[in-house]
Amino acid sequence: MTTDICVVVPTIRDWGCVRAYARNAREHGFDLDRLTFVLVTEDFCDTAGMRSMLAEEGLDGEVFDATRRSEWLDANGVGEYDHLIPEASHAQTSFGLLYLWANGYERGLFVDDDTLPHPDFDFFGRHLRNLDYEGPIEEVASDEQWVNVLYQRADEHGLYPRGYPYSAMDETVRTRERTAKDVVASQGLWTNVPDLDAVRILMDGDLDGQAQTRTSADDFDGDFVVAEGQYLTVCSMNLAFEREVVPAFYQLPMDDNPWDVGRFDDIWSGVFLKRACDLLGKDVLTGYPLCAHNKAPRSTFGDLTNEVHGLELNEHVWEIVDGVGDGADSYEAAFAAMADALAESEFDDYENGAFLNYCGEYMRDWLECLAELRPASVAEPRAAPATDD
């Protein structure tokens, strides 16, 4: 079997989670030879131990700390774009996207190191079946243009995930059945510690960065897609995707920036991906397979410090990109339109609004970097004119 899937694991702590995912694959008869594991880590971490673990498990893979990332970028002729990968940030998953792109993998998976697969699910097999799915599925929408990915039991637990706009709460949900259309991303959800922002964790009465309210498998009732023109939070801790989405899936330059904005890398990249999918007639499927999210205790106020600089921007990012890209015929063109809208508009009314201009410039550099990595593999973006609406 050809190695066609790149599994990206950002890790500085419990990289042993890879053993659990390998064990899940073996137990469900999934061919591990299809997978390459890319561990994205830091110079101060035990990279030798990580490589030994991959060898002991018989897994194909590489370990990239900051030094090796820099060497890889230089060796592939894109060293000038090293700024795209922020220091000491979860957004370093973008390096995994570059690795996948340059090496021709057909599909990718993001797995966080504080997760474990649920034994009842064939983790890798279910994600791949989701990407291939073409049958009937529940479509969800709301009167706020946002869907809470925890909506199936929201009346009981009252949770909204990290990144869900506060202005879109108390929404009215409506559902219908339709046929899935070209699924390009599969987002698995999570039990145990829900993925909440710091404000919501504090409101739940927890000072340790977790949550007093926990989720279980009973809180989830199958897969769904979000209607065209609607948005959802996309969390990268349990996520599979097609290679084709990489141009529109850059994980934004969080944490390592002059505004100290953090914690919105996968959230905003999910907004951009959903807009591109709507323009191109694609679907993002959410639901199974579940993973257990075992977030380690840490200061809720520390997370709040990282998030607060971007909270107001998060209320408006989706509105900015929602009006651009009409006529785009590729992920590149859709992403270029969104990049232009962010780079060229004025956001003086928002706290730290200049960070959006900064992101727009980085998004442009992302497309250039992909074109340099594999010349002629990225079409020349034909972006619709940006608007300030």
Residue in 217, 222, 12, 229 with CA at minimum distance from that of residue 119: 217
The pLDDT score that the predictor gives to residue 2 is 78
Kindly report the number of other CB atoms within 10 A of residue 190's CB atom: 26
Report the chain's terminal Cα–Cα distance, integer Å. Answer: 49
The pLDDT score that the predictor gives to residue 389 is 39
Averaged pLDDT for residues 263-269: 96
Task: Give the pair of three-digit tokens for residue 354.
Answer: 């200049």
Per-residue pLDDT for 195 more than 90? yes
Per-residue pLDDT for 317 more than 50? yes
pLDDT-derived band at 88 (thresholds 50, 70, 90) equals: confident
| Pairs from 39-44 (Cβ < 8 Å, separation ≥ 24) | 39/9, 39/11, 39/15, 39/63, 39/64, 40/8, 40/9, 40/10, 40/11, 40/64, 40/69, 40/92, 40/93, 40/95, 40/96, 41/10, 41/11, 41/12, 41/15, 41/65, 42/12, 42/66, 42/88, 43/67
Share of the chain above pLDDT 90, in %: 93
Per-residue pLDDT for 378 more than 90? no
pLDDT-derived band at 119 (thresholds 50, 70, 90) equals: very high
Per-residue pLDDT for 381 more than 90? no
Per-residue pLDDT for 13 more than 90? no
Give the model confidence (pLDDT) of 142-177 as tens digits. 999 999 999 999 999 999 999 999 999 999 999 999
Per-residue pLDDT for 384 more than 50? no
The pLDDT score that the predictor gives to residue 376 is 63
Residue in 213, 193, 33, 215 with CA at minimum distance from that of residue 112: 193
- Phi and psi of 179, rounded to 5°? -95, 135
Per-residue pLDDT for 11 more than 60? yes
Q: What are residue 108's DSSP bridge partners? A: 6, 241
Cα distance between residue 100 and residue 94, in whole Å: 10
Cα distance between residue 351 and residue 81, in whole Å: 28
The pLDDT score that the predictor gives to residue 374 is 77
Secondary structure of 167-187 as H, E, C letters? HHCCCCEEEEEEECCCEEEEE
Residue 238, classed as helix, strand or coil, is: strand
Per-residue pLDDT for 29 more than 50? yes
Averaged pLDDT for residues 120-133: 98
Averaged pLDDT for residues 264-279: 98
Cα distance between residue 244 and residue 389, in whole Å: 29
The pLDDT score that the predictor gives to residue 387 is 41
pLDDT-derived band at 379 (thresholds 50, 70, 90) equals: low
- The DSSP H or E segment spanning 15 is none
Averaged pLDDT for residues 356-362: 98
The pLDDT score that the predictor gives to residue 386 is 42
Q: Is 301 exposed, middle or buried (0-12, 13-18, 19+ CB in 10 A)?
A: middle
Give the model confidence (pLDDT) of 289-304 as tens digits. 999 999 999 999 999 9
Per-residue pLDDT for 106 more than 80? yes
Per-residue pLDDT for 385 more than 50? no
Per-residue pLDDT for 103 more than 50? yes
The pLDDT score that the predictor gives to residue 380 is 56
Averaged pLDDT for residues 41-70: 96
The model carries a pTM of 0.95
Residues 6+ apart with CB under 8 A from 249: 97, 241, 269, 272, 273
Give the model confidence (pLDDT) of 205-254 as tens digits. 999 999 999 999 999 999 999 999 999 999 999 999 999 999 999 999 99
**CB–CB of 127/186 below 8 Å?**
yes
- Share the mean pLDDT of the chain: 95
Cα distance between residue 246 and residue 263, in whole Å: 20
The pLDDT score that the predictor gives to residue 276 is 98
- DSSP secondary structure string, 24-75? HHHHTT--GGGEEEEEE--TTS-HHHHHHHHHHTT-EEEEE-HHHHHHHHHH
